[in-house]
Structure 1
Amino acid sequence: DQYDTISHHTQRGLDFTEKFTHLLKERSAIELEYAGKLKKLVKNFQPKKKDEDEYQFSSAKGFVEMIKELHDIASQHEMIAENLQGVVMKEMQALIGEIKQERKKYLQDGSKLQEQIQRSYQQLEKAKSKYERGFKEAEKTMDNYRKADADIHLSRAEVEKTRMLMNTKAQLAEECKNEYAAQLQNTNAHQSEFYNTLMPAVFQQLQDMDEKRINKIRDFINQCAETEASVIPIINTCIDGMKKAASSVDAASDSRLVIERHKSGFQKPEDIQFEDLSLGNSIEHSNNITPKNTIDKNTKSATLSGKSKKRTGLFGLFGSSKVDDQREDFSDLPPAQRKKKLLQKIDSIKKEMAKESAEREGMLKMKDVYLNNPALGDPSTLDKKVEENAQKIDSLREELHKFEGYLNDSESRGNSKRNSTSDDSISMTASESSMIQRQDNSLPGTPQTQHNVANVYAPVDGLSDDEEDEFNYPIEGTCRALYKFEAVNEGSIPMEENEEMYIIEKDQGDGWTRVRKNDNTEGFVPTSYIECHLYAVDQV
C-alpha cells in the first residue's frame, strides 16, 4: 500500500547517485587543474640554459630535484583524476542508466497491478449496485403484489399480472445477487494475490534494485579511497626524494666550488709600507726589511734601451681593465680560470672531432655498400659529403692544435708574458722608489710568502739569440738571501742563506724578484726571502 512512497524513495536514491557523480566530476576537474598549475609552476622554475652554471651548486641541484619530485606529485594528482573519471565515474554512470531502466520496468509492473485491482474494485462496486437496485425493485413489486392481492376491488387478472411482475423482479434480484457474489469472490481473490504475491514481488524487485545501488555506492567510495591510497606510496617516495635532495645540500662543497670556479692563481699582494719623505723617499730598516718598488699594474719602468712593455698574466690581477669581449685564448682571464676554460674548449673540440669521425666512418661504409651493390644507391652522391666532413675534421684539428698551444702557453706562462723589462735605463718616480716591509717577525725558515705555486714563471732556458738579447736585463741592485730557498717551480732558482746576488728585475707586484747569481744563472726567488739594495735609491 506504500507504492507511491517506494517510488519516491527510489527516485531520491537515483538523485543521490547522480549527485555523487557530479562530486567526482568536479573533484577530477580540481585535481587536473591543480596538477596543471603545479606542472606550470615547475616549468616556470626550471633552470634556464643561460643559468646552467649556477645550477652546479648543491643547493641549486637540491632545488631542481625538489621541483622534479613536485612534478611527479602533480602527475599523481592527474592519475587520481584519470582513475576517478575513467573507472569510478564510468561505472557509476552505467549503474545509473541500469537503475533507471530497472526502476521504470518495476514501476510499470506495479502500475499495471494497481490498475487491475482498481478495475476489480470497480466491477465489484457495479455488481453490488446492480444487486441493490434489483433487490429494492423485487421488494417493491412484492409489496405491490401484497397490496393488490388484499385489494378486493382489483380483478383477478390484475392481481395475476402483479404477481408475475413480482416473480420477474425477484428472479432478476437473484441473478444480480449471484453476479455480485461471484464478483466479490473474484475481487477478494485478486486482492489477496495483489497484496500477498504480486505487489510484494514488485516491492522486492525495487528493494533489490535499491540495495544494489547502495552496495555499488559503497564500492565506489571504496574505489575512491583505493585510488587515493594507490598514489600515496609514490607521493611518499617523492617526499623522500625531496628529503634526499635536502640532505644533499652541502654548504662546504658549494663554497669549494665557488673557490674552484673563481680562483685566479695570483699571488697575494704585499703589505703597503709607510713612505717617510724625510728620509729621501726611502725607508731604512733592519735586516728583516725587504725594499720593494710599487709600480703601475699594467706598465713597467723603462729599461736601459728606453723600451717599455706591459706585464701580463699574474701581474694583471690588481689593475687590469675589464674587457667586454672575451679573447679567443682566454688570456684576459686569471691563470687558473684560463687553464680551466682552455681544457673545457679542448674537450668540446675533441668530442666534436669524435662525432665527425664517426659520421665519416658511417659514410665510408655506406659508400662501400653502394659500390658493392649499385642498386642501393649512387656512391658518387656521398663524395661531396665526405669531402665536407674531411674539411670539417681538418678545421677542428687545426683548432685543437691552436688551443693546445694556448694551453701549453698558459702552463708555461711564457717568458714574454712574464718579463716586461726592456733595455732602456730606469726612470724612477717617487712612488716607484718607495719601499715596503714584507718580512714579519717570524723565525728564519718560516717565511710568509707562498712560493709553491706551480708554473708561476716559464723557464728562462731555451731562448733564441734574439730573445736573449731582448731579455738581457741590466743590474738594478744587489740582494742577500735571508733564508734558504729550494726551487720547486719552473723559472725559479735555489739559493742559500746569506748568498749575495744581483737584482736584474724588481718585484712587479707578484711577490717574485728576478736575480742573477755569481755563476750567471738567472731566475726568480721570493721577494720576502731576500734583503734588497737598489742602485736607484743610492742615486736619489
Structure 2
Amino acid sequence: MMLPVSKFFTVQEPSNALLSYIQKGIDFFERIGQFSKEKAAIEEEYSTKLKNLAKKYAKKTEEEDEVLKSVSYISAFNSFLYQLDQIAGKHHAAAESTREDIVAYVSSKACQLRSSRKNAISDLKTINDILEDHINDMWKSGKIYSRAYKDAESAYQKFYKADKNLEISRLELEKTRSHAMTRNEICEKAKSDYSKSVSTTNSEQKKYHDELLPVIFSRLKAVDKECIGDMSHVLQKLITVDECLSEGIGCCRQKTQKIVNNIEAESDSQLVLDSVEAMMEKPTPFDFEDLGDPKDCDSRAGDSIDGKHKSEALMPILKSPNKKNLLGNFLGIKQKEPEKLESPREVYADKNKPAHVRLSCLRSKIKSMEKELEQATQGREGITRLQKAYYANPQHGNPDACTAPLISYAKKIEALNANIQDLKELYILLEASAESSTPTERSFGGRDTPDTTRSMSGCSTNVSSTKTLEDGVFQIRERGGSSGDDSSKNIIRQILTTPKRIISSPRTPKSAPFSATNTPVRRKKDISSPVLRSSFSGAIRKMPGSATSSPHRSISSPMKIDKSEILVTVLFEFEQSSAETMSIIPGEELFVQETDNGDGWTRARKKRNQEVGFVPTSYLQFPVASICITPP
C-alpha cells in the first residue's frame, strides 16, 4: 500500500520508498520461513528413507544363520544399522523442531509486522490528508485575495479616470469613489484571510515535518528493526537445530567408529576354520593286504564271484557324513527342501472310503480353498490400496515395500485357482463314478444305504470298474505335466458322454429269473433299520396272498438263494450300532444268511466266530457267479 503523490508537497515519494523497503523486508522474512518449512520437509523425507533402509537391511541380517551372527563383522553391521536408525531419529527430531518452533514463529511474526506497518501507513495517510487540506484552503484564500485585489484595482482606476474627467457630474464621481472603496475593503478582508491561511498552513506544515512525520518514520523504523531482528533470531534457531543435529550425529558416528574398530578379521576367519576342522573326520589309515603269489592263480580260481576278482571288492568305499551340508548349515546356507505337494490321488482317492465320503471331503476342501482365495484377493486389494496411498503421500511409507507382498499374493492366487480347478475336475470325476452305479444300487438297496459301490442282483459290485476308471485318470494327471489338464478334461468329457451301462458293473445274467428292475423298493418311511425288519419279517411271512397282490410280501419276506450259503468279502469297516447289527472289518469273510430286501441291510454270519447280525449291503463284495437271487 502506497500513498498517492500530491502536487502540493513532495513528502509522499520518500515515504513510499520507505514503505516499499519495509514491505520487501517482511517478504524476505517470510521467504526465510518458507525455506525453513522446505528444509524440515527434506529432513523428514531423509529420515523416513534412512529408517526404511536400516529396517530393510536389519531384516535381512535377522534371517542369517545364528552361527554366522557370532562373527564380529555381522554384529558390527547390526550396530551400524542401529546407529543409522538413531541418526534418522535425530533428523526427524530436527524436522519437528524446525516445523514447530521456526515455521510457526515466522508465520505469527510476519502477521504482526504486517499489522504494524499497516497501522503506520494509516496514520501517515491521516496526517498527509490534514496537511493537504490546509494547503488547499491556503490556495483557495490566495485565489480569493488575488481576485479581490484585481477588482479593487480596477475600481480605483475607474475612479481616477472619472476624477480627471470634468464633464461627469459630481454624483457619478461620488458613486465611482464609493465603489472603489468597497472593493478595497473586500480586498483587505481577502488579504487578511489569506494571511491567516498561510500562517496556519505553515504552522501545520512545520508540525507535520517536525513532529508527526518523524513519529511515523520511527514507528516504521521499529517495524523494520523488529523484522531484521526476527530474521536474525530465526537464522540463529536454524543454526542451533543444525548444531544439535550435528552433535547427535557425531555421537552416533563415534559409537559406530568404535564398533567398526572392533572387527577382527583374524579371529573371525579362525572361528570359521576351527568350526570346519571340528566337523571334519580323520580317516583311518589304509591297510596293506597281500594278495599272494600270482603263480597260484589255479588254486584261487574259485575266489572270483560273478567274474569279478576279489581285489575289486577290496577297493574301499569311503562313506562319511555330508560335510558340504554341515559347512553350509554353519555358514547359514540352507538348502531349499522340495515342497511336498499332496496330489489329489493321495488325499481324496482313498479307495478304503465310500464315494460319498470322498465327495464330502472334496466339497469341504473346495469351499475352504475358495475362502482362502477370497482372503488372498482381499489382501492383495488392501496392499494395492496401501501402495497407492504411499505413492500419493511418500512420507507415510515406501511404496516399493508393497511390491514383494503383491507378487506373493499373485502367486498364491494363481496356485489356489489351479488347485481349485483340479479339485473341481476330480469332483466331477468322482460324482460321475458314483452316479454310474446309482440306478442299480437304488433298485436293490434302500435309501439309507450310503452312496458307495453296492452289490447287485446277479452281478459283482461296481468297485472294480469305478476304481479302474479313477486310476486311469489319476495316472494321466500324474504323468501329464503341461498336458495334464487337457487329459483330465478329456476323460471327464468321456465319462459324462459314456452310457451308464458301460460305466456301471455287468448286468445280471440273462439266466437269472429275477431282474433287479423288478425288485420292489422299500421306502425309507416304511422300514429303515434291521430292528424293524426283524420285527416285521415274521408277521409278514404269515400273510396270505401272492407277491403281486401283497407288496409287503415281496418287501419283507426273505429272498431265496440258489446256493445254501454265499461267501462274501467285507469292503469297508462298520461299527455295531444296535443289538441287531454286528461290527465288520475290511477283508473279513461272511456267509450270507438273508439277502437285502430293499432296505439296504444283509443278514450274514462271520466265518471265523459264527457271529450273526445285519450289515450294510453296500459294504460287501459279492462273487459274480454266486449271486443268483430268485423271488420267493
What TM-score, normalized to structure 1?
Answer: 0.51
In structure 2, the partner of 1:242 is 256
Residues 464-479 of structure 1 mapped to structure 2, 5 A cutoff: none
Matched, 1:33 2:54: no
- RMSD, aligned α-carbons: 2.9
For residues 279 and 126 of structure 1, do their structure 2 counterparts lie closer, same or farther at Cα, with a shift above 3 Å needed? farther
Question: For the Cα contact (< 8 Å) 1:28–1:82, is it kept in 2?
Answer: yes
Q: Secondary structure at the match of 1:254?
A: helix
- Measured after TM superposition, the shift of residue 270 of structure 1 is 5.2
Q: Secondary structure at the match of 1:60?
A: helix
Question: For the Cα contact (< 8 Å) 2:76–2:263, is it kept in 1?
Answer: yes
- In structure 2, what is the Cα distance between the partners aligned to 1:152 and 1:89? 96
Question: For the Cα contact (< 8 Å) 2:26–2:110, is it kept in 1?
Answer: yes
Matched, 1:148 2:151: no
| Residue type of the alignment partner of 2:316 | I
Residues 104-183 of structure 1 mapped to structure 2, 5 A cutoff: 104-183=118-197
Q: Which runs of 5+ in 2 are unaligned?
A: 1-10, 296-313, 331-632
Question: For the Cα contact (< 8 Å) 2:73–2:263, is it kept in 1?
Answer: yes
In structure 2, the partner of 1:296 is 317
Say how many residue pairs are matched: 298
Residues 198-237 of structure 1 mapped to structure 2, 5 A cutoff: 198-237=212-251
| Residue type of the alignment partner of 1:30 | I
- Kindly indicate whether structure 1 or structure 2 has the higher relative contact order, using CA contacts under 8 Å at least 6 residues apart: 1
- In structure 2, what is the Cα distance between the partners aligned to 1:59 and 1:68? 14
- Measured after TM superposition, the shift of residue 159 of structure 1 is 1.3
Question: For the Cα contact (< 8 Å) 1:10–1:210, is it kept in 2?
Answer: yes
| Residue type of the alignment partner of 1:68 | Y
- In structure 1, what is the Cα distance between the partners aligned to 2:88 and 2:255? 14
2:93 to 79, 91, 111: 79
Residues 391-402 of structure 1 mapped to structure 2, 5 A cutoff: none
For residues 68 and 321 of structure 1, do their structure 2 counterparts lie closer, same or farther at Cα, with a shift above 3 Å needed? closer
- In structure 1, what is the Cα distance between the partners aligned to 2:145 and 2:217? 36
2:27 to 9, 12, 15: 15
For residues 268 and 174 of structure 1, do their structure 2 counterparts lie closer, same or farther at Cα, with a shift above 3 Å needed? same
- In structure 2, what is the Cα distance between the partners aligned to 1:273 and 1:195? 125
Give deviations 1:293-313, integer Å, cap 9, x for gaps: 763235xxxxxxxxxxxxxxx
Question: For the Cα contact (< 8 Å) 2:34–2:103, is it kept in 1?
Answer: no
In structure 2, the partner of 1:533 is none
- Measured after TM superposition, the shift of residue 248 of structure 1 is 1.8
Give deviations 1:451-470, integer Å, cap 9, x for gaps: xxxxxxxxxxxxxxxxxxxx
Matched, 1:252 2:274: no
Residues 448-527 of structure 1 mapped to structure 2, 5 A cutoff: none
- Measured after TM superposition, the shift of residue 14 of structure 1 is 1.1
What TM-score, normalized to structure 2?
Answer: 0.44
| Residue type of the alignment partner of 2:182 | T
Question: For the Cα contact (< 8 Å) 1:47–1:64, is it kept in 2?
Answer: no
- Measured after TM superposition, the shift of residue 84 of structure 1 is 1.2
Give deviations 1:327-383, integer Å, cap 9, x for gaps: xxxxxx79x99xxxxxxxxxxxxxxxxxxxxxxxxxxxxxxxxxxxxxxxxxxxxxx
Q: Which runs of 4+ in 1 moved over 4 A?
A: 259-266, 270-281, 320-323
Give deviations 1:210-262, integer Å, cap 9, x for gaps: 01111111111111111111222221111011111111211233234424654
- Measured after TM superposition, the shift of residue 15 of structure 1 is 1.1
Q: Secondary structure at the match of 1:197?
A: helix
| Residue type of the alignment partner of 1:51 | E
Q: Secondary structure at the match of 1:45?
A: helix
- Measured after TM superposition, the shift of residue 269 of structure 1 is 2.6
Matched, 1:51 2:51: no
Matched, 1:69 2:90: no
Question: For the Cα contact (< 8 Å) 1:47–1:55, is it kept in 2?
Answer: no
For residues 275 and 12 of structure 1, do their structure 2 counterparts lie closer, same or farther at Cα, with a shift above 3 Å needed? farther
